[in-house]
Amino acid sequence: MISFFLDQASEAGFEEIQPPIVINSDSGYGTGQLPDKEGQMYGIVDSDLYLIPTAEIPITNLYRDVILKEDELPVKNVGYTPCFRREAGSWGSHVRGLNRLHQFDKVEIVQITRPQDSYKALENMCAYVEGLLKKLELPFRKLLLCGGDLGFTSAITYDMEVYSAGQEKWLEVSSVSNFEAYQANRLKLRYKEAGKKTTLLHTLNGSALALPRIVAAILENNQTEKGIIIPEILRNYTGFDIID
């Protein structure tokens, strides 16, 4: 599935980045994880370093203190990394198995755009994630988060959820967010139009996609008397079409 997600991103015009999985506190501050989500991040003892909770952080920080030219926009990057989250305060049967893990693999897409283009980019990113779920033949829904559920860095966030037949509930598999100029202001990420002053850019990111819950949904939604049917789009990657 990782290869499938990366191939799809490449076809959609995203340039693949292989980012580090260890960041310093300045990087966490630049994208808004610090000082807010320390309780969810794994710190490295006796250092100013953390394991990444998402590839959004190192990818977006590649453009810290950068002034981009207008013809370099939009920036579209994709990265696959393991992700590490403490999930502090999470316990109970509803988060067992693949639902919530301290380490998991995820493919992340990041865009950097002019302010006037960011909401169109958000629509395109949502449509892209929806397209992945359709190709995987999974039942899904799209939710617009209310203000109380937003992280303080985000101006708007859509969640994509797939239905898990085995668990009889919806599982979040992607969040797509527009941070407007919040991260760019912290990162001093700007662009310069010809003959004009530098202007802060807008940053966006989304999961495309995280593996554990997608795996769970495929296993639980495709069970037949003969076995678990592999979605057709994945068969060239797996080399088989059913799990007996």
**Residues recognised as catalytic:** 85, 100, 172, 175, 213
Q: Give the CA distances from residue 234 to residues 5, 14, 82, 100, 231, in Å, rounded to whole numbers and listed in that order.
A: 10, 20, 21, 24, 6
Cα–Cα distance, 173 to 150 (Å, whole number): 16
Task: Give bridge partners of residue 105 from the DSSP assignment.
Answer: 82
**Residue whose entry in the numeric block shows the structure tokens 């958000």:** 122
Region of residue 152 (phi > 0: left; psi between -120 and 50: alpha; otherwise: beta): alpha
Residue 188: how many other CB atoms lie within 10 Å? 14
